[in-house]
Amino acid sequence: MWIYEKKLQYPVRVSKCDPRVARYLVEQYGGADGELSAALRYLNQRYSIPNKVIGLLTDIGTEEFAHLEMIATMIYKLTKDATPQQMEEAGLGPNYVIHDNGLFYNNSSGVPWTAAYIQAKGDPLADLYEDIAAEEKARATYQWIIDMTDDVDLQDGLKFLREREIVHAMRFKEAVEIIKADQGTRKIF
Amino acid sequence: MNATKPTRDWYPFVGPFDPCPPKYVKSYYVPPNELIPYQPMNLPQFSLPEALRLGTLWPALYGPYEARSSMRGQQSDE
């Protein structure tokens, strides 16, 4: 069960009318290493992982949904007032034809989100290393999106999200250490 | 109902920090089939050549669409 707080995790300000960037932000919305993939990956893996790290996956998976909202807000702010012509100039002509100015879970190239982006191998180390890799890939993606805009307010929100990826990767690495240490201990069931 | 106008308007939230010039009114189109639960018999009909051109025999089902903000050219919306 979740409790919803009707505010963003970190304030989102977009100061430059540049719908072009919305197309790149979509990568973190419905892309392979985006926030939707992250949230669903962690919240699903947690069922078959040792007890000690279930809570970590729950917490981080939940935070990824908070990030998803922030990304959605950025995209929405950039596209909600765009005319069809402006959408096309922003490279979002195909998006307009399919979704009007609506958001959709696809990547920056328009490929729809697929569950094939995420994994649950059932092996705690395999899953956690996938999670670490996902966080690092998301961090890199944020860097490349930051490179694509000169809106400092938008960059501010993206920099927050990028930093969270670093923290999450650290937590997952600690979870790997917990799992490794656990392997040598004797346990009575 | 709104018999004269096939679109409905709504007023989206406009924030104080919107990056782009905001649209204050958005609208969506409600086609005539939404307003006819079950088509009655003997409705008025277009002439046959007109029906072939318009795509329907019945004026009651005729719901034309014009480009909203003309894609090439002026930028008036709705």
Least confidently predicted of A1-5, A46-50, A177-181: A177-181
Read off the pLDDT of residues B11-60 as tens digits, 9 standing for 90 and up. 999 999 999 999 999 999 999 999 999 999 999 999 999 999 999 999 99
- Chain A residue closest in CA terms to B75: A83
Residue A14 contacts B where some CB pair is shorter than 8 Å:
yes
Band of the pLDDT at A182, cuts 50, 70, 90?
low
- Chain A residue closest in CA terms to B13: A80
Q: Return the DSSP state at A18.
A: -
Answer yes or no: A99 catalytic.
Answer: no
B77 or B69, which is more confident? Answer: B69
Residue spans of the domains in chain A: they are 20-158
**By C-alpha distance, which of A105, A136, A128, A124 is closest to A33?**
A136
Residue B38 pLDDT: 95
ipTM field: 0.72
Chain A positions touching B21 (Cβ under 8 A) are: 17, 81
Pick A20-158's CATH classification: 2.40.128.50, 1.20.1260.10, 3.40.50.1000, 1.10.3720.10.
1.20.1260.10
Read off the pLDDT of residues A120-165 as tens digits, 9 standing for 90 and up. 999 999 999 999 999 999 999 999 999 999 999 999 999 999 999 9
Q: What is the rounded distance in angstroms from the CA atom of residue A129 to the CA atom of residue A45?
A: 12
